[in-house]
Amino acid sequence: MATMTREDRLPAVERFRVAVPEETLRDLGDRIEKTRWPDEIPGAGWEYGTNLGFLRELLAYWRDDFDWRAREREINRFPHFLAEVDGLGIHFVHARSKEAGALPILLTHGWPSTFLEMSRLVPLLTDPVAHGAGPRDAFHVVVPSLPGYGFSEIPRRGGLTKTRIAAIEARLMSEVLGYPRFAARGGDIGAGVTSWLAFDYPERIVGIHVSDVLRPGIGPASPPLSEAERRFLEEETAWMRAEGAYDHVQATKPQTLAFGLHDSPAGLASWIVEKLRSWSDCGGDVLRRFSRDDILTILTIYWATGTIHSANRLYFDRDREPRELAPGQRVEVPCAVALFPGDIDHPPREWGERALNVQRWTEMPRGGHFAAWEEPELLAQDLREFFRPLRGKRADPK
């Protein structure tokens, strides 16, 4: 007689399998074939943005040689589920460890990433013994797709802020999956969601691990900025001036951008590939960190689900309903910060301590914005070490 899984006993959760229709893949190939390519300044490389020669070769491979079905089979080796939370269908991977006393951990991705970023990290956390660690370092891992990303439902109304996503994730973990207390980790948008999750639901959070620091509240009574903090803010301003066009257009006119990215594989690929190259620790060669198959798996997820616009729109919602810490407020649950040299922001520790109860601060030797994909072993080790003393401070679900 077949046994029921834990998810089978939860009526709000259903199993899910990734299966892109063949018609969608044929249409994708046809659209690539009909791409109208722009010109390029000879010898410009990546100076003006995505390089024409690189993109032409990538799309030819996408059309002729990329095996989505093989990647689909790899993706489906993970246990996928769907649950309705706050009126939205949320896709997530829920990989439980075989080790007794495993700590539940929620891993939240950012933009322009997907749940796939965590796939290299999942086995390191669920099966630590097979990867050189001890059984007491095991985690039950939950990896949701952000609402409007990938296989999660596209919201049909605005207001999808990081605060609302944090509330959705809190309900997913505690009410749907039955984890009353859990750990959480995120980078980029995922770091903001994770930080507000800990701020709003501290009773549910054992601790958080982030790669981006929530902006602290600064007021007349706040301690003066250190020299390192002033330098960081200057660097941040300079970076936004040179690299922040994507943020500004997604936060102001995402619908205008959507017509090109949603309709054209070349447009979608150009928009995302340039960020994979710029934000990873690749030394200007994106293929050092992402193979062509890796890149095209990410692109196919966005293309097949039609979610690039809903993903971009989160920036608009962020700026329509901004939320910041007030001076003197901070996240009080135990916090760890891991900074990767190829990432966007590199704040000093004193900046992080204004917003977070920092108990661990790690300057990684390598890696970038997509840390779980680029350096899963480094990240897994940092997670194990940070959460090891916190494991006794929660109760396992029945």
**What are the extents of the domains in the chain?**
59-390
DSSP H/E element including 237: helix 227-243
Q: What is the pLDDT of residue 80?
A: 98
Of 200, 129, 150, 197, the C-alpha closest to 169 is: 197
Tell me whether strands 88-95 and 80-85 are parallel, antiparallel or unpaired: antiparallel
Q: What is the pLDDT of residue 7?
A: 44
Q: What is the pLDDT of residue 12?
A: 79
Q: What is the pLDDT of residue 123?
A: 98
Unique residue bearing structure tokens 């660690």: 133
Of 114, 77, 111, 83, the C-alpha closest to 95 is: 77
- Evaluate if pTM is beyond 0.75: yes
> Which three-class secondary structure state does DSSP give residue 282?
coil
Q: What does residue 143 show for φ and ψ, rounded to 5 degrees? A: -125, 100
Q: Supply the residues annotated as catalytic.
A: 188, 315, 369
pLDDT (tens digit, 0 to 9) for every residue of the chain, 398 residues total? 233 344 444 447 999 999 999 999 999 999 999 999 999 999 999 999 999 999 999 999 999 999 999 999 999 999 999 999 999 999 999 999 999 999 999 999 999 999 999 999 999 999 999 999 999 999 999 999 999 999 999 999 999 999 999 999 999 999 999 999 999 999 999 999 999 999 999 999 999 999 999 999 999 989 999 999 999 999 999 999 999 999 999 999 999 999 999 999 999 999 999 999 999 999 999 999 999 999 999 999 999 999 999 999 999 999 998 999 999 999 999 999 999 999 999 999 999 999 999 999 999 999 999 999 999 999 999 999 999 999 976 444 33
Handedness of CA 286, 162, 324, 174 (dihedral sign): negative
Q: What is the pLDDT of residue 56?
A: 98
**What would the 3-class secondary structure string for 257-298 be?**
HHHHHHHCHHHHHHHHHHHHHHHCCCCCCHHHCCCHHHHHHH
d(CA 353, CA 345): 15
Burial label for 349, CB within 10 Å (0-12, 13-18, 19+), is middle
d(CA 278, CA 283): 9
Query: Any bridge partners for residue 205, and if so which?
Result: 182
DSSP letters of 81-104?
EEEEETTEEEEEEEE--SSTTPEE
Identity of the amino acid at 98: K
Two structure tokens written together for 125: 């956390």
Q: Which CATH number fits domain 59-390: 1.10.800.10, 3.30.70.100, 2.60.40.1480, 3.40.50.1820?
A: 3.40.50.1820
Q: What is the pLDDT of residue 178?
A: 96
User: How many beta carbons lie within 10 A of that of residue 31, not counting itself?
Assistant: 16
Fill in the DSSP letter of residue 12. Answer: T
Q: What is the pLDDT of residue 398?
A: 34
Q: What is the pLDDT of residue 395?
A: 44
d(CA 396, CA 182): 9
Identity of the amino acid at 275: K
The residues, any chain, with a CB within 8 Å of residue 28's CB and separated by 6 or more, are 62, 63, 265, 300, 303, 304
Two structure tokens written together for 169: 């994730």
Unique residue bearing structure tokens 């007794």: 100
DSSP letters of 111-151?
TT--GGGGTTTHHHHH-GGGGTS-GGG-EEEEEEPPTTSTT
